[in-house]
Chain A
Protein backbone atom coordinates (compact mmCIF):
# COMPACT_ATOMS: atom_id res chain seq x y z
CA UNK A 1 0.00 0.00 0.00
CA UNK A 2 1.00 3.59 -0.44
CA UNK A 3 2.87 3.85 2.84
CA UNK A 4 6.10 5.75 2.38
CA UNK A 5 7.40 3.49 -0.33
CA UNK A 6 10.74 4.56 -1.67
CA UNK A 7 10.00 3.60 -5.22
CA UNK A 8 11.02 4.74 -8.70
CA UNK A 9 8.28 6.94 -9.96
CA UNK A 10 7.55 9.29 -12.83
CA UNK A 11 4.73 11.77 -13.17
CA UNK A 12 2.90 11.55 -16.47
CA UNK A 13 1.93 15.05 -17.49
CA UNK A 14 0.30 14.13 -20.81
CA UNK A 15 -3.42 13.86 -20.31
CA UNK A 16 -4.69 10.29 -20.65
CA UNK A 17 -8.25 9.80 -21.76
CA UNK A 18 -9.69 6.74 -20.05
CA UNK A 19 -12.21 4.35 -21.59
CA UNK A 20 -14.79 5.53 -19.06
CA UNK A 21 -14.60 9.00 -20.62
CA UNK A 22 -12.70 10.76 -17.84
CA UNK A 23 -9.30 12.28 -18.36
CA UNK A 24 -6.36 12.03 -15.98
CA UNK A 25 -3.09 13.94 -15.98
CA UNK A 26 -0.08 14.55 -13.76
CA UNK A 27 -0.43 11.06 -12.38
CA UNK A 28 2.32 8.83 -11.01
CA UNK A 29 3.58 5.56 -12.49
CA UNK A 30 5.79 3.55 -10.17
CA UNK A 31 8.20 1.14 -11.79
CA UNK A 32 11.32 -0.92 -11.32
CA UNK A 33 14.06 -1.98 -13.74
CA UNK A 34 16.57 -4.81 -13.73
CA UNK A 35 19.74 -5.20 -15.79
CA UNK A 36 21.18 -2.61 -18.15
CA UNK A 37 19.83 -1.11 -21.33
CA UNK A 38 22.39 -1.72 -24.11
CA UNK A 39 23.63 1.10 -26.33
CA UNK A 40 21.36 0.10 -29.25
CA UNK A 41 18.43 -0.05 -26.80
CA UNK A 42 17.52 -3.40 -28.31
CA UNK A 43 17.40 -5.56 -25.19
CA UNK A 44 14.43 -4.10 -23.30
CA UNK A 45 11.67 -6.38 -22.07
CA UNK A 46 8.49 -4.95 -20.59
CA UNK A 47 6.91 -7.31 -18.08
CA UNK A 48 3.25 -6.80 -17.15
CA UNK A 49 2.10 -7.95 -13.73
CA UNK A 50 -1.06 -9.84 -12.82
CA UNK A 51 -3.96 -8.84 -10.53
CA UNK A 52 -2.09 -8.73 -7.23
CA UNK A 53 1.42 -8.30 -8.59
CA UNK A 54 3.55 -5.17 -8.56
CA UNK A 55 6.69 -3.73 -10.12
CA UNK A 56 8.99 -5.87 -7.98
CA UNK A 57 9.45 -8.72 -10.43
CA UNK A 58 12.73 -10.06 -9.11
CA UNK A 59 15.11 -9.75 -6.18
CA UNK A 60 13.68 -8.76 -2.80
CA UNK A 61 10.39 -6.95 -2.74
CA UNK A 62 11.10 -3.99 -0.40
CA UNK A 63 7.51 -3.93 0.88
CA UNK A 64 6.98 -7.59 1.68
CA UNK A 65 10.63 -8.58 2.11
CA UNK A 66 9.82 -11.65 0.06
CA UNK A 67 11.19 -12.67 -3.33
CA UNK A 68 9.83 -10.74 -6.30
CA UNK A 69 6.72 -12.34 -7.80
CA UNK A 70 8.48 -13.66 -10.90
CA UNK A 71 11.82 -14.63 -9.39
CA UNK A 72 11.73 -17.99 -11.15
CA UNK A 73 11.59 -16.26 -14.52
CA UNK A 74 13.44 -12.94 -14.17
CA UNK A 75 16.90 -12.43 -12.69
CA UNK A 76 20.56 -13.20 -13.23
CA UNK A 77 20.92 -16.50 -15.12
CA UNK A 78 17.16 -16.97 -15.08
CA UNK A 79 15.05 -17.61 -18.21
CA UNK A 80 14.81 -13.83 -18.70
CA UNK A 81 18.43 -13.20 -17.82
CA UNK A 82 19.06 -9.74 -16.43
CA UNK A 83 22.74 -10.09 -17.36
CA UNK A 84 21.50 -9.82 -20.91
CA UNK A 85 18.14 -8.06 -20.86
CA UNK A 86 16.90 -4.77 -19.47
CA UNK A 87 13.66 -5.66 -17.73
CA UNK A 88 11.04 -3.02 -16.94
CA UNK A 89 7.92 -3.52 -14.87
CA UNK A 90 5.44 -0.87 -13.82
CA UNK A 91 2.71 -1.00 -11.24
CA UNK A 92 -0.60 -0.77 -13.13
CA UNK A 93 -2.80 2.27 -12.66
CA UNK A 94 -5.46 1.30 -10.18
CA UNK A 95 -2.76 -0.53 -8.21
CA UNK A 96 -1.45 0.22 -4.74
CA UNK A 97 2.32 0.14 -5.08
CA UNK A 98 2.91 3.75 -6.00
CA UNK A 99 1.11 4.15 -9.31
CA UNK A 100 -2.04 6.25 -9.57
CA UNK A 101 -4.75 4.32 -7.76
CA UNK A 102 -7.58 4.60 -5.24
CA UNK A 103 -5.11 4.81 -2.35
CA UNK A 104 -3.28 7.78 -3.92
CA UNK A 105 -3.65 10.89 -1.76
CA UNK A 106 -5.71 13.63 -3.33
CA UNK A 107 -3.57 16.68 -2.70
CA UNK A 108 -6.46 19.11 -2.42
CA UNK A 109 -8.22 17.12 0.33
CA UNK A 110 -5.27 15.32 1.87
CA UNK A 111 -7.32 12.15 1.77
CA UNK A 112 -7.17 8.95 -0.28
CA UNK A 113 -9.16 9.08 -3.51
CA UNK A 114 -11.06 5.93 -2.60
CA UNK A 115 -14.00 5.09 -4.81
CA UNK A 116 -13.87 8.55 -6.39
CA UNK A 117 -11.14 6.96 -8.48
CA UNK A 118 -12.36 6.46 -12.08
CA UNK A 119 -13.05 2.99 -13.44
CA UNK A 120 -10.02 1.88 -15.42
CA UNK A 121 -9.54 -0.80 -18.06
CA UNK A 122 -6.71 -3.01 -19.33
CA UNK A 123 -6.49 -0.59 -22.26
CA UNK A 124 -5.98 2.35 -19.86
CA UNK A 125 -3.30 0.42 -17.94
CA UNK A 126 -1.39 -0.31 -21.14
CA UNK A 127 -1.66 3.26 -22.42
CA UNK A 128 -0.31 4.55 -19.12
CA UNK A 129 2.64 2.15 -19.24
CA UNK A 130 3.40 3.22 -22.80
CA UNK A 131 4.11 6.68 -21.38
CA UNK A 132 6.81 5.08 -19.25
CA UNK A 133 8.40 3.48 -22.32
CA UNK A 134 8.42 6.87 -24.02
CA UNK A 135 9.97 8.41 -20.91
CA UNK A 136 12.72 5.75 -20.97
CA UNK A 137 13.22 6.67 -24.65
CA UNK A 138 12.92 3.11 -25.90
CA UNK A 139 11.84 3.15 -29.51
CA UNK A 140 11.17 -0.57 -29.77
CA UNK A 141 10.98 -3.20 -27.07
CA UNK A 142 12.53 -6.58 -27.68
CA UNK A 143 9.61 -8.23 -25.91
CA UNK A 144 6.42 -7.74 -23.94
CA UNK A 145 5.71 -10.59 -21.55
CA UNK A 146 3.09 -11.35 -18.92
CA UNK A 147 0.87 -14.01 -17.40
CA UNK A 148 -2.82 -13.87 -16.50
CA UNK A 149 -3.85 -10.20 -16.42
CA UNK A 150 -0.27 -9.53 -17.54
CA UNK A 151 -1.00 -11.59 -20.65
CA UNK A 152 -4.12 -9.54 -21.35
CA UNK A 153 -1.93 -6.44 -21.22
CA UNK A 154 0.49 -8.07 -23.66
CA UNK A 155 -2.36 -8.59 -26.14
CA UNK A 156 -3.69 -5.07 -25.65
CA UNK A 157 -0.21 -3.58 -25.96
CA UNK A 158 0.41 -5.18 -29.35
CA UNK A 159 -3.07 -4.18 -30.53
CA UNK A 160 -2.49 -0.55 -29.46
CA UNK A 161 1.16 -0.29 -30.49
CA UNK A 162 1.68 -2.77 -33.33
CA UNK A 163 5.26 -1.73 -34.09
CA UNK A 164 6.62 -1.27 -30.58
CA UNK A 165 7.57 -4.85 -29.68
CA UNK A 166 9.39 -7.51 -31.68
CA UNK A 167 8.10 -10.36 -29.58
CA UNK A 168 4.96 -10.86 -27.48
CA UNK A 169 4.52 -13.67 -24.97
CA UNK A 170 1.03 -13.85 -23.44
CA UNK A 171 0.90 -16.64 -20.86
CA UNK A 172 -2.11 -18.35 -19.25
CA UNK A 173 -4.55 -15.66 -20.32
CA UNK A 174 -7.57 -14.90 -22.46
CA UNK A 175 -8.67 -12.38 -25.02
CA UNK A 176 -12.03 -12.02 -23.34
CA UNK A 177 -12.92 -12.52 -19.68
CA UNK A 178 -15.34 -15.44 -19.37
CA UNK A 179 -18.55 -15.58 -17.34
CA UNK A 180 -16.81 -17.87 -14.86
CA UNK A 181 -13.97 -15.40 -14.39
CA UNK A 182 -16.37 -12.49 -13.96
CA UNK A 183 -18.31 -14.58 -11.45
CA UNK A 184 -15.27 -15.26 -9.28
CA UNK A 185 -14.24 -11.61 -9.41
CA UNK A 186 -17.73 -10.52 -8.43
CA UNK A 187 -17.60 -12.90 -5.46
CA UNK A 188 -14.41 -11.22 -4.31
CA UNK A 189 -15.79 -7.72 -4.75
CA UNK A 190 -18.97 -8.59 -2.88
CA UNK A 191 -16.91 -9.97 0.01
CA UNK A 192 -15.06 -6.65 0.25
CA UNK A 193 -18.15 -4.48 -0.11
CA UNK A 194 -20.04 -6.58 2.45
CA UNK A 195 -17.41 -5.80 5.06
CA UNK A 196 -18.87 -3.06 7.28
CA UNK A 197 -15.45 -1.43 7.40
CA UNK A 198 -15.47 -0.80 3.67
CA UNK A 199 -17.47 2.43 4.17
CA UNK A 200 -18.32 2.69 0.45
CA UNK A 201 -14.64 2.78 -0.31
CA UNK A 202 -13.71 5.64 2.03
CA UNK A 203 -12.40 3.44 4.86
CA UNK A 204 -9.13 5.32 5.12
CA UNK A 205 -11.03 8.48 6.17
CA UNK A 206 -12.17 6.53 9.24
CA UNK A 207 -8.84 4.77 9.76
CA UNK A 208 -10.55 1.50 8.96
CA UNK A 209 -9.70 -1.33 6.61
CA UNK A 210 -12.04 -4.02 5.24
CA UNK A 211 -9.54 -6.73 6.14
CA UNK A 212 -12.07 -9.51 6.55
CA UNK A 213 -13.72 -8.93 3.21
CA UNK A 214 -10.43 -8.59 1.39
CA UNK A 215 -9.12 -11.78 3.02
CA UNK A 216 -12.21 -13.73 1.93
CA UNK A 217 -11.82 -12.34 -1.59
CA UNK A 218 -8.22 -13.54 -1.64
CA UNK A 219 -9.14 -16.97 -0.25
CA UNK A 220 -11.78 -17.54 -2.92
CA UNK A 221 -9.48 -16.33 -5.67
CA UNK A 222 -6.62 -18.42 -4.40
CA UNK A 223 -8.64 -21.60 -4.89
CA UNK A 224 -9.12 -20.69 -8.53
CA UNK A 225 -5.35 -20.42 -8.99
CA UNK A 226 -4.80 -24.06 -7.96
CA UNK A 227 -5.95 -27.35 -9.41
CA UNK A 228 -8.10 -29.99 -7.79
CA UNK A 229 -5.29 -32.50 -8.14
CA UNK A 230 -2.73 -30.10 -6.72
CA UNK A 231 -4.94 -29.33 -3.72
CA UNK A 232 -5.67 -32.98 -3.09
CA UNK A 233 -2.02 -33.97 -3.26
CA UNK A 234 -0.78 -31.12 -1.12
CA UNK A 235 -3.50 -31.08 1.52
CA UNK A 236 -5.92 -33.95 1.08
CA UNK A 237 -7.88 -34.20 4.34
CA UNK A 238 -4.82 -33.62 6.48
CA UNK A 239 -5.53 -31.98 9.83
CA UNK A 240 -3.81 -28.86 11.10
CA UNK A 241 -1.80 -29.29 14.33
CA UNK A 242 -4.26 -31.79 15.77
CA UNK A 243 -4.94 -35.51 15.75
CA UNK A 244 -8.70 -35.46 15.51
CA UNK A 245 -11.58 -33.23 14.52
CA UNK A 246 -12.57 -30.61 17.11
CA UNK A 247 -16.27 -30.45 16.26
CA UNK A 248 -16.19 -26.69 15.77
CA UNK A 249 -15.39 -24.05 13.18
CA UNK A 250 -11.72 -23.60 13.83
CA UNK A 251 -9.35 -24.51 11.03
CA UNK A 252 -9.34 -28.28 11.52
CA UNK A 253 -8.02 -28.96 8.06
CA UNK A 254 -4.69 -27.87 6.66
CA UNK A 255 -6.35 -26.42 3.59
CA UNK A 256 -8.45 -24.13 5.80
CA UNK A 257 -5.44 -22.99 7.72
CA UNK A 258 -3.53 -22.43 4.48
CA UNK A 259 -6.29 -20.30 2.97
CA UNK A 260 -6.71 -18.26 6.16
CA UNK A 261 -2.99 -17.60 6.14
CA UNK A 262 -3.06 -16.57 2.47
CA UNK A 263 -5.92 -14.19 3.26
CA UNK A 264 -4.22 -12.68 6.27
CA UNK A 265 -0.87 -11.94 4.63
CA UNK A 266 -2.59 -10.52 1.59
CA UNK A 267 -4.39 -7.76 3.49
CA UNK A 268 -1.06 -6.46 4.77
CA UNK A 269 0.18 -5.73 1.28
CA UNK A 270 -2.88 -5.00 -0.81
CA UNK A 271 -5.50 -2.29 -0.89
CA UNK A 272 -9.14 -3.40 -0.96
CA UNK A 273 -10.23 -0.69 -3.39
CA UNK A 274 -7.40 -1.60 -5.76
CA UNK A 275 -8.76 -5.14 -5.69
CA UNK A 276 -12.16 -3.83 -6.76
CA UNK A 277 -10.79 -1.65 -9.54
CA UNK A 278 -8.35 -4.14 -11.00
CA UNK A 279 -10.80 -7.06 -11.02
CA UNK A 280 -13.27 -4.75 -12.76
CA UNK A 281 -10.68 -3.92 -15.40
CA UNK A 282 -10.19 -7.64 -16.02
CA UNK A 283 -13.93 -8.24 -16.30
CA UNK A 284 -14.27 -5.45 -18.83
CA UNK A 285 -11.50 -6.94 -20.97
CA UNK A 286 -12.84 -8.17 -24.29
CA UNK A 287 -10.31 -7.52 -27.02
CA UNK A 288 -12.39 -8.97 -29.82
CA UNK A 289 -15.29 -6.70 -28.90
CA UNK A 290 -12.94 -3.74 -29.22
CA UNK A 291 -12.47 -4.86 -32.83
CA UNK A 292 -16.14 -5.44 -33.63
CA UNK A 293 -16.07 -9.11 -32.76
CA UNK A 294 -13.06 -10.02 -34.87
CA UNK A 295 -10.07 -10.75 -32.66
CA UNK A 296 -7.77 -11.14 -35.67
CA UNK A 297 -8.30 -7.48 -36.51
CA UNK A 298 -6.60 -6.55 -33.23
CA UNK A 299 -3.34 -7.90 -34.66
CA UNK A 300 -3.75 -7.08 -38.34
CA UNK A 301 -1.25 -4.24 -38.30
CA UNK A 302 1.50 -6.02 -36.44
CA UNK A 303 4.63 -7.91 -37.44
CA UNK A 304 5.27 -8.87 -33.83
CA UNK A 305 6.19 -12.50 -33.25
CA UNK A 306 3.93 -14.27 -30.76
CA UNK A 307 4.50 -17.15 -28.38
CA UNK A 308 1.38 -18.27 -26.50
CA UNK A 309 1.70 -20.58 -23.49
CA UNK A 310 -1.01 -22.35 -21.48
CA UNK A 311 -1.01 -25.01 -18.75
CA UNK A 312 -2.87 -28.32 -18.66
CA UNK A 313 -4.37 -27.86 -15.19
CA UNK A 314 -5.28 -24.17 -15.52
CA UNK A 315 -9.07 -24.08 -15.41
CA UNK A 316 -9.29 -20.33 -14.83
CA UNK A 317 -7.69 -19.44 -18.17
CA UNK A 318 -7.90 -22.83 -19.87
CA UNK A 319 -5.96 -23.93 -22.93
CA UNK A 320 -9.06 -23.53 -25.10
CA UNK A 321 -9.10 -19.77 -24.41
CA UNK A 322 -5.39 -19.43 -25.07
CA UNK A 323 -5.85 -21.39 -28.28
CA UNK A 324 -8.44 -18.87 -29.47
CA UNK A 325 -5.67 -16.28 -29.49
CA UNK A 326 -3.50 -18.65 -31.53
CA UNK A 327 -6.33 -19.31 -33.98
CA UNK A 328 -6.98 -15.58 -34.42
CA UNK A 329 -3.29 -15.00 -35.12
CA UNK A 330 -3.01 -17.93 -37.51
CA UNK A 331 -6.01 -16.79 -39.46
CA UNK A 332 -4.11 -13.64 -40.44
CA UNK A 333 -0.85 -15.48 -41.01
CA UNK A 334 0.88 -13.96 -38.00
CA UNK A 335 4.06 -15.55 -36.69
CA UNK A 336 2.80 -17.51 -33.68
CA UNK A 337 4.11 -20.44 -31.66
CA UNK A 338 2.06 -22.23 -29.06
CA UNK A 339 2.51 -24.90 -26.43
CA UNK A 340 0.44 -26.23 -23.55
CA UNK A 341 2.76 -27.08 -20.66
CA UNK A 342 2.03 -30.13 -18.53
CA UNK A 343 1.61 -29.08 -14.90
CA UNK A 344 -0.55 -29.92 -11.86
CA UNK A 345 -0.12 -26.48 -10.37
CA UNK A 346 -3.15 -24.85 -11.94
CA UNK A 347 -3.25 -21.24 -13.08
CA UNK A 348 -0.41 -20.41 -10.68
CA UNK A 349 1.93 -22.56 -12.80
CA UNK A 350 3.30 -19.49 -14.54
CA UNK A 351 4.55 -18.12 -11.21
CA UNK A 352 6.01 -21.36 -9.88
CA UNK A 353 8.92 -23.68 -10.42
CA UNK A 354 7.66 -25.63 -13.43
CA UNK A 355 10.90 -26.75 -15.12
CA UNK A 356 9.56 -27.47 -18.62
CA UNK A 357 7.88 -24.03 -18.66
CA UNK A 358 10.98 -22.21 -17.47
CA UNK A 359 13.24 -24.07 -19.89
CA UNK A 360 11.03 -23.60 -22.95
CA UNK A 361 10.42 -19.93 -22.17
CA UNK A 362 14.09 -19.19 -21.54
CA UNK A 363 15.38 -21.09 -24.57
CA UNK A 364 12.76 -19.50 -26.80
CA UNK A 365 13.52 -15.96 -25.67
CA UNK A 366 17.26 -16.45 -26.00
CA UNK A 367 17.22 -18.12 -29.40
CA UNK A 368 14.73 -15.60 -30.74
CA UNK A 369 16.87 -12.74 -29.45
CA UNK A 370 19.83 -14.27 -31.26
CA UNK A 371 17.92 -14.77 -34.51
CA UNK A 372 16.50 -11.24 -34.48
CA UNK A 373 19.91 -9.73 -33.79
CA UNK A 374 21.56 -11.83 -36.48
CA UNK A 375 18.97 -10.73 -38.99
CA UNK A 376 19.58 -7.10 -38.16
CA UNK A 377 23.31 -7.55 -38.78
Chain B
Protein backbone atom coordinates (compact mmCIF):
# COMPACT_ATOMS: atom_id res chain seq x y z
CA UNK B 1 0.00 0.00 0.00
CA UNK B 2 1.55 3.26 -1.03
CA UNK B 3 1.10 6.56 -2.76
CA UNK B 4 4.11 8.09 -4.46
CA UNK B 5 5.12 11.35 -6.05
CA UNK B 6 7.39 11.79 -9.04
CA UNK B 7 10.46 13.86 -8.33
CA UNK B 8 9.09 16.85 -10.28
CA UNK B 9 5.82 16.68 -8.40
CA UNK B 10 7.64 16.49 -5.06
CA UNK B 11 9.75 19.53 -5.91
CA UNK B 12 6.64 21.50 -6.81
CA UNK B 13 4.82 20.53 -3.65
CA UNK B 14 7.83 21.54 -1.56
CA UNK B 15 7.95 24.90 -3.31
CA UNK B 16 4.23 25.53 -2.82
CA UNK B 17 4.42 24.53 0.83
CA UNK B 18 7.40 26.82 1.39
CA UNK B 19 5.58 29.68 -0.30
CA UNK B 20 2.49 29.06 1.77
CA UNK B 21 4.58 29.32 4.91
CA UNK B 22 2.77 26.54 6.77
CA UNK B 23 1.42 23.02 6.27
CA UNK B 24 2.80 19.59 7.02
CA UNK B 25 2.16 17.85 3.73
CA UNK B 26 -0.14 17.04 0.88
CA UNK B 27 -3.50 15.31 1.09
CA UNK B 28 -4.74 13.13 -1.74
CA UNK B 29 -8.27 11.90 -1.71
CA UNK B 30 -11.45 11.16 -3.58
CA UNK B 31 -14.96 12.37 -3.18
CA UNK B 32 -18.14 11.02 -4.63
CA UNK B 33 -19.13 13.73 -7.03
CA UNK B 34 -18.50 14.47 -10.62
CA UNK B 35 -19.77 13.40 -13.95
CA UNK B 36 -18.42 9.89 -13.77
CA UNK B 37 -18.52 8.69 -10.17
CA UNK B 38 -15.49 9.78 -8.19
CA UNK B 39 -13.38 12.91 -8.23
CA UNK B 40 -9.85 13.49 -7.01
CA UNK B 41 -9.05 16.05 -4.37
CA UNK B 42 -5.68 17.59 -3.71
CA UNK B 43 -5.16 19.79 -0.67
CA UNK B 44 -2.56 21.21 1.65
CA UNK B 45 -2.57 19.65 5.13
CA UNK B 46 -2.37 21.73 8.29
CA UNK B 47 -3.39 18.98 10.70
CA UNK B 48 -3.78 15.22 10.46
CA UNK B 49 -6.81 13.26 11.54
CA UNK B 50 -6.22 10.23 13.82
CA UNK B 51 -7.30 7.76 11.12
CA UNK B 52 -5.12 9.27 8.37
CA UNK B 53 -2.47 7.19 6.64
CA UNK B 54 0.82 8.89 5.92
CA UNK B 55 3.48 8.13 3.31
CA UNK B 56 6.79 9.73 2.53
CA UNK B 57 7.90 10.31 -1.04
CA UNK B 58 10.95 12.35 -2.10
CA UNK B 59 10.87 14.15 1.22
CA UNK B 60 7.19 15.11 0.98
CA UNK B 61 4.64 13.81 3.43
CA UNK B 62 1.60 12.42 1.59
CA UNK B 63 -1.55 11.98 3.65
CA UNK B 64 -4.60 9.92 2.67
CA UNK B 65 -7.68 9.00 4.62
CA UNK B 66 -8.32 5.20 4.67
CA UNK B 67 -11.62 5.50 2.80
CA UNK B 68 -9.96 7.24 -0.12
CA UNK B 69 -6.94 4.99 -0.10
CA UNK B 70 -8.88 2.00 -1.40
CA UNK B 71 -9.65 3.93 -4.57
CA UNK B 72 -6.24 5.43 -5.17
CA UNK B 73 -3.79 2.93 -3.69
CA UNK B 74 -0.75 2.65 -5.93
CA UNK B 75 -1.29 6.08 -7.45
CA UNK B 76 1.68 8.06 -8.61
CA UNK B 77 1.20 11.83 -8.61
CA UNK B 78 3.01 13.64 -11.38
CA UNK B 79 3.44 17.30 -12.28
CA UNK B 80 2.95 18.04 -15.96
CA UNK B 81 2.86 20.90 -18.39
CA UNK B 82 0.39 20.94 -21.26
CA UNK B 83 0.79 24.01 -23.39
CA UNK B 84 0.35 27.01 -21.13
CA UNK B 85 -1.43 24.95 -18.52
CA UNK B 86 0.45 23.13 -15.76
CA UNK B 87 -0.63 21.12 -12.79
CA UNK B 88 -0.77 17.76 -11.02
CA UNK B 89 -1.84 14.51 -12.62
CA UNK B 90 -3.06 11.33 -10.91
CA UNK B 91 -1.73 8.08 -12.38
CA UNK B 92 -4.14 5.72 -10.71
CA UNK B 93 -3.88 2.00 -11.56
CA UNK B 94 -7.39 1.31 -10.17
CA UNK B 95 -9.22 3.38 -12.76
CA UNK B 96 -11.44 1.55 -15.21
CA UNK B 97 -13.02 4.51 -16.87
CA UNK B 98 -12.79 8.26 -16.64
CA UNK B 99 -14.84 11.12 -17.93
CA UNK B 100 -13.63 13.00 -20.97
CA UNK B 101 -11.92 15.69 -18.99
CA UNK B 102 -10.35 13.22 -16.56
CA UNK B 103 -11.51 15.03 -13.48
CA UNK B 104 -13.64 12.14 -12.33
CA UNK B 105 -13.41 8.37 -12.76
CA UNK B 106 -15.01 5.03 -11.97
CA UNK B 107 -13.50 1.80 -10.74
Indicate whether A and B interact. no
Measured CB to CB, the residues of B under 8 A from A are none
What is the interface of chain A, defined by CB distance below 8 A to chain B? none
